[in-house]
Amino acid sequence: MTNQTNKVAEKQIIPAYFGEFGGMFVGELLVPALEQLEQAFVDSKTDEAFQAEFNKLLTSYAGRPTPLTLTRNLSKNPLAKIYLKREDLLHGGAHKTNQVLGQALLAKKMGKTEIIAETGAGQHGVATAIACALLGLKCRVYMGTVDCQRQQPNVFRMKLMGATVIPVTAGGGTLKDAVNEALRDWSANYDSAHYLLGTAAGPHPFPTIVRDFQKMIGEEAKAQLLEEEGKLPDYVIACVGGGSNAIGMFNDFIHETNVKLIGVEAGGKGIDTHEHGATLSAGTKGMLHGNYTYIMQDKYGQIEESYSVSAGLDYPAVGPQHAYLKETGRAQYVPINDDEALAAFQTLASSEGIIPALESSHALAHALKMAETVTEETIFLVNLSGRGDKDLAHVQTVLHPEASNNKEQN
């Protein structure tokens, strides 16, 4: 039995676990597809042509490197220096485009002609539609009906770029239900289709692949900040839903032990209510969507619905590496409520002329909270993971319900 177990383990060519978190919890049917993906990913690391094409797309198509902006008016405390990593300026409007280009190239390398994706805020769906249009892949995107409602412009964007958007009515009609549906589709179509998972979660090897295709965020930011300040930041802050922008930002700082890493989760209406998405702050260990991590569940293991004003953070699980960073104490995870995020959204717009995504507004809100209290010069590096265009209609409805009702009647 031991020999056999070792043989099974030999097939893992990159570690499937971060401490006790991660793994490949899928039906036996999907294991060959995931192992094929793992092999293609490992091969791509030493494939110069692949790396050259990926880098070329990142620079000449997506717009990397993205700038690092020192905010001028955001904090009233002169001791707080808040830098923004401007993933909002990336083509597609968010960091999502980075890893999607990488995975789409892997899909082509594996000879797949179709792409299946899930989306919450629509940002991953849009990024996937972009990559598929560019690289000639057939694209279908699963999206919860609730999310389709609150992210209408992104549904239209995806359709414009040739993607088929499939609304998912099951469950709460949000991201987790879209993931379930994408997994079902993939189970039937893995021969021709690649499942282009949108965050650093899901079964191995996705958490590793997505992190590695996002890690340029932190690498660039570190170099840019060293150029500006000649030193590393005190705090690196990013929002966490599934956790791809945060892990991409954190990765190059994990071994810089003087740099504090803070992941900001969706506090929704408060973590003492049941309406939030703060999996690491208020969840428990369990398994969802192929990996063992922190999840929101009842005592029997039934998954609870998450909630957030921001669709991209509305997910009752989190990437396994974040679970590990929490468990080891290397990163800290905190909740920010809807109203705090909405306030930060407006503050950045009026003080700096930048409209952030509601997801990124959570990270910003926490940075602002901390900035008020610092008593010596402190450098904050905040990942502004996306822009807020997609959220305008929704925020208007939340802030001015009457005005938006009138508008709808017109």
Partner 1 sequence: MSQIHPGISQRYQQCFANLAEKNEGAFIPFVTIGDPNPEQSFEVIKTLIDSGADALELGIPFSDPSADGVTIQQAALRALSSGVNTDICIDILKQVREYAPQIPIGLLLYGNLVFARGIDNFYQDMADAGVDSVLIADLPIRESEPFRNAALKSGIAPIFIAPPNGSEKTLANVAKYSEGYTYVLSRAGVTGAETKATTPADHLVAALKANNAPPSVIGFGISAPEQVKEALAAGARGAISGSAVVKIIENNLADNKAMLTNLSSFIKSMKAATVK
Active-site residue flag, 231:
no
Nearer to partner 1, 190 or 333 (CB): 190
Can you tell me which of 26, 62, 280, 334 binds partner 1, judged by CB under 8 A? 26
| 170 phi/psi in degrees, rounded to 5 | -60, 155
| 23 phi/psi in degrees, rounded to 5 | 95, 180
Q: Residue 408 and residue 380: Cα distance in Å, rounded?
A: 40
Tell me: does residue 258 bind partner 1 (CB under 8 A).
no
Tell me: does residue 6 bind partner 1 (CB under 8 A).
no
Tell me: does residue 242 bind partner 1 (CB under 8 A).
no
Active-site residue flag, 108:
no
Tell me: does residue 13 bind partner 1 (CB under 8 A).
no
Build a one-symbol-per-residue string for 177-196: x at contacts with partner 1 by CB under 8 A, - elsewhere. --xx--xx--xxxx------
Residues 6+ apart with CB under 8 A from 318: 201, 240, 241, 242, 243, 265, 279, 280, 283, 293, 294, 295
Tally Cβ neighbours within 10 Å of residue 352.
16
Tell me: does residue 79 bind partner 1 (CB under 8 A).
no
Tell me: does residue 170 bind partner 1 (CB under 8 A).
yes
Tell me: does residue 18 bind partner 1 (CB under 8 A).
no
Please identify which of the residues 38, 87, 118, 265 carries the catalytic annotation: 118
Tell me: does residue 7 bind partner 1 (CB under 8 A).
yes
| Subset of residues 284 to 343 that bind partner 1, contact rule: CB under 8 A | 285-290, 292, 295, 297, 299-303
Tell me: does residue 208 bind partner 1 (CB under 8 A).
no
Q: Taking contact as CB under 8 A, which single stretch among the options 19-27, 53-61, 157-165, 399-407 is the one that binds partner 1?
A: 19-27
Nearer to partner 1, 324 or 345 (CB): 324
Active-site residue flag, 118:
yes
DSSP 28: G
Residues 6+ apart with CB under 8 A from 114: 137, 138, 139, 140, 189, 192, 193, 194
Tell me: does residue 3 bind partner 1 (CB under 8 A).
no
Tell me: does residue 213 bind partner 1 (CB under 8 A).
no
Query: Would you tell me the crossing angle of helices 338-352 and 392-399 to the nearest 10 degrees?
Result: 110
Rounded (5°) CA angle 131-136-137: 75
Greatest C-alpha distance within the chain: 71
How many Å separate Cα 301 from the centre of its chain?
A: 24
Residues with active-site annotation:
96, 118, 385
Footprint of partner 1 on this chain (CB under 8 A)?
4-5, 7-9, 11-12, 23-32, 170-171, 176, 179-180, 183-184, 187-190, 285-290, 292, 295, 297, 299-303
